[in-house]
């Protein structure tokens, strides 16, 4: 089975079908900043987010500067005329649809209200499947799970999901616990496990820990704006001791930040983090009698660039897996 791996389309959704057809993908995995906006999103954006959408648009520099000098009301009107939040409204209306199934997490730059409607099933788009803490998917030989949004340890992580506002979304602590339980309940042992996040596990050790905790064979992420697809695993870049320390330190940093702001929820936070931190102890033989945690050798990380820069293709069948990366 062939998966197109893509991220950070920011509403420029035509590229998904374009690349799907080019590589003959059976399905798409999208690592967030999809472009989950509708016609009402403009009014819900903070001033900062609205200006970012103008500043990072494809409009000529002179036009961007002109729009940025307008009042908020006129900036919204002009941004709407240029459709600067992208094409997702057309998919919501059924005017457009995806050629193959698309499995996507939300990113950190999305409209919370639109994401909530997708999460609750109040709206649906043909061939679009949202990955979140309560839902993973069996797709051919793979089990795909995921959780999007930013990772912001402390008070924001303590909020009730779906957390965010003003055009920003971040992950809540309870979602990580729910995600682990979802994978443990629904993933068959023999399936190739793919964990999708928006934030890179290379940047945030806590995300790598979640990958290890869910026994992921691959993690797929975006967010960083890398110059090309970055592929690595802990075995290739660190010793066992360094890799384990990185996970421990990352977990401890999240634990400390959350407990510092927990107040009356401290007991629940401690119990939840204790559950999240139970990284599987199964090992793999590295040869010459040396053993290491399975995740250290077997979990491969794929951090994707923005969609206009590059993408990857992952083939999985009964003989194994093959990964190719591409620049556009």
Distances (CA, A) of 36 to 2, 48, 128, 137, 169: 25, 17, 12, 20, 11
Cβ atoms of 50 and 80 closer than 8 Å: no
* Predicted pLDDT at 310: 98
Please provide residue 293's backbone torsions phi and psi, each rounded to the nearest 5 degrees. -55, 140
Q: What is the 3-state secondary structure (H, E, C) of the chain?
A: CEEEEECCCCCCCHHHHHHHHHHCCCEEEECCCCCCCCCCHHHHCCHHHHHHHHHCCCCCHHHHHHHHCCCHHHHHHHHHHCCCCCCHHHHHCCCCCCCCCEEECCCCCCCHHHHHHHHHCCCCCCCEEECECCECEEECCEEEEEECCECCCCCCCCCCCCEEECCEEECCHHHHHHHHHHHHHHCCCCCEEEEEECCCCCCCHHHHHHHHHCCCCEEEECCCCCCCCEEECHHHHCCHHHHHHHHHHHHHHHHHHHHHHHHHHHHHHHHHHHHHCCCCCCEEEEECCEEEEHHHHHCEEEECCCCCCEEEEEEEECCEEEEEEEEC
* Predicted pLDDT at 219: 99
Q: Could you give the number of structural domains in the chain?
A: 1
Band of pLDDT at residue 34, cut at 50, 70 and 90: very high
User: Residue 25 domain-assigned?
Assistant: no
User: Residue 307 domain-assigned?
Assistant: no
User: Residue 257 domain-assigned?
Assistant: yes
Cβ atoms of 114 and 38 closer than 8 Å: yes
* Predicted pLDDT at 262: 87
User: Residue 85 domain-assigned?
Assistant: no
User: Residue 144 domain-assigned?
Assistant: yes
Cβ atoms of 171 and 149 closer than 8 Å: yes
As a whole-number percent, the residues of the chain with pLDDT over 70 amount to 100
pLDDT at 264 over 90: no
B/e letters for 206-235, b = 16+ CB within 10 Å, e = fewer, are: bbbbbbbbbbbbbbbbbbbebeebbeebbb
Band of pLDDT at residue 243, cut at 50, 70 and 90: very high
User: Residue 22 domain-assigned?
Assistant: no
User: Residue 10 domain-assigned?
Assistant: no
pLDDT in tens, 114-161: 999 999 999 999 999 999 999 999 999 999 999 999 999 999 999 999
pLDDT in tens, 59-116: 999 999 999 999 999 999 999 999 999 999 999 999 999 999 999 999 999 999 999 9
User: Residue 36 domain-assigned?
Assistant: no
Which of 133-137, 234-238, 264-268, 286-290 comes out lowest in average pLDDT? 286-290
* Predicted pLDDT at 286: 85
Which of 100-104, 260-264, 270-274, 312-316 comes out lowest in average pLDDT? 260-264
Counting Cα atoms < 13 Å in the Cβ hemisphere of 323 gives 17
Range of the domain at 195: 103-302
pLDDT at 191 over 90: yes
Please tell me the distance from the alpha carbon of residue 306 to that of residue 226, in angstroms, as a whole number. 7
């Amino acid at each position: 089975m062939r998966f197109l791996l893509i991220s950070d389309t920011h509403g420029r959704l035509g590229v998904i079908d374009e690349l799907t057809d080019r590589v003959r993908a059976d399905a798409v995995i999208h690592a967030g900043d999809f472009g989950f906006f509708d016609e009402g999103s403009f009014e819900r954006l903070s001033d900062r987010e609205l200006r970012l959408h103008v500043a990072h648009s494809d409009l000529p520099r002179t036009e961007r500067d002109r729009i940025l000098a307008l009042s908020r009301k006129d900036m919204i009107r002009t941004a709407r005329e240029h459709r600067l939040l992208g094409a997702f409204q057309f998919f919501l209306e059924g005017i457009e649809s995806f050629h193959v199934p698309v499995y996507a997490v939300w990113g950190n730059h999305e409209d919370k209200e639109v994401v909530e409607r997708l999460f609750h099933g109040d709206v649906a788009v043909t061939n679009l499947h949202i990955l979140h803490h309560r839902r993973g998917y069996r797709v051919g030989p793979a089990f795909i799970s995921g959780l999007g949004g930013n990772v912001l340890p402390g008070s924001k992580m303590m909020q009730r999901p779906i957390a965010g506002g003003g055009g920003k979304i971040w992950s809540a602590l309870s979602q990580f616990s729910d995600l682990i339980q979802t994978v443990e309940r629904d993933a068959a042992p023999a399936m190739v496990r793919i964990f999708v996040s928006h934030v890179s596990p290379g940047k945030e050790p806590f995300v790598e820990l979640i990958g290890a905790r869910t026994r992921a064979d691959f993690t797929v992420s975006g967010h960083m704006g890398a110059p090309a697809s970055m592929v690595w695993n802990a075995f290739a870049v660190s010793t066992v001791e360094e890799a384990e320390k990185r996970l421990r330190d990352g977990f401890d940093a999240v634990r400390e930040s959350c407990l510092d702001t927990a107040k009356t929820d401290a007991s629940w936070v401690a119990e939840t983090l204790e559950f999240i931190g139970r990284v599987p102890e199964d090992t793999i033989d590295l040869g010459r009698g040396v053993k290491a945690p399975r995740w250290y050798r077997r979990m491969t990380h794929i951090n994707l660039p923005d969609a206009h820069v590059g993408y990857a293709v992952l083939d999985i069948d009964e003989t194994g897996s093959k990964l190719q990366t591409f620049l556009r």
